[in-house]
Amino acid sequence: MGLARNFETAANPAQKPARDALSALLALRRPLVMGILNVTPDSFSDGGKSIDPATAIAHAGAMARQGADILDVGAESTRPYGGMKPVSSDEEMARLSAVLPAVTKLGVLVSIDTIKANVAAWALDQGATIVNDVWGLQRDPDMATLVAGRGVPVIVMANREAADPAIDIIAEVSAFFARSLEIAERAGIARDKIVLDPGIGFGKTPEQSIACIAQLAEFKTFSLPLLVGASRKRFINSVTPSQPDERIGGSIASHLEAAANGAALVRAHDVAETVQALRVAAAIEAAR
């Protein structure tokens, strides 16, 4: 519990305006775009193109200029199809140290994509203001305490160790969210600081991933903002065979459907194209 107490007392008052900024953005009632910055050598989508710090920082700047509302920075691959190499906290922070401080100065909200509470705490100290946990507070027992102590928003993603085509995926994801929300409540995380992500591709068959987007409104029963990260995922390949960098069209189609079904945020590699698609779709809808 000593580590947890340190998390609680390390709250940084300077983060309050930034974390409140997420609420302000969500209040605009338009889909927010989260740009993906992988500082890893084994990302499924880009093969480590941003592992070089200068390249990563330049790419982050480009996404900010293209209209990203949030930049999601991760230094350990969470690729949903296996083959990733787990790294230590020290290695994860070493990869981030040359990139994250510069990214947090770009004037865009920054989330830290990690399943480790100590890495999240370090990233928050560097200026990140959102925690993105792909195991939804259910992997590291200190994560919920950290989030509660800092008072920052958290993205709770539904995950599974392996896909099971026999299960009702909507019921399974809903049950995962319910467990995560119980953990959050016990830790003292304010409910208005929570975003739910069904985890497209994570422990799901392609058909189940498609179902999560098609039936996204089912998760609105939790009365919390929903995030969908369909960018370049394998389910697109199951519909139209393609390599990850050839899935821009499928990614945009998925995010437009997600937005139409109630997504408040989408997580994308191709920020400029996603921002343009969402704005045009909104203009057409407004003209109806």
Catalytic positions: 233, 267
Backbone angles phi, psi at 151, to 5 degrees: 70, 25
The continuous run of DSSP H or E covering 37 comes out as strand 32-38
**What is the Cβ-side half-sphere exposure of residue 177, based on CA atoms within 13 angstroms?**
24
Residues contacting 27, CB < 8 A, separation 6+:
none
| Distance, CA of 250 to CA of 240 (rounded, Å) | 8
Helix runs in 113-165, H state only: 117-125, 143-150
- DSSP code of 76? S
Rounded alpha-carbon distances, angstroms, from residue 12 to 35, 100, 125, 129, 269:
25, 17, 7, 10, 30
Order the strands of the 194-197 sheet from edge to edge: 194-197, 154-157, 130-133, 109-113, 70-74, 32-38, 265-268, 227-228
Whether 116 contacts 56, CB under 8 Å: no
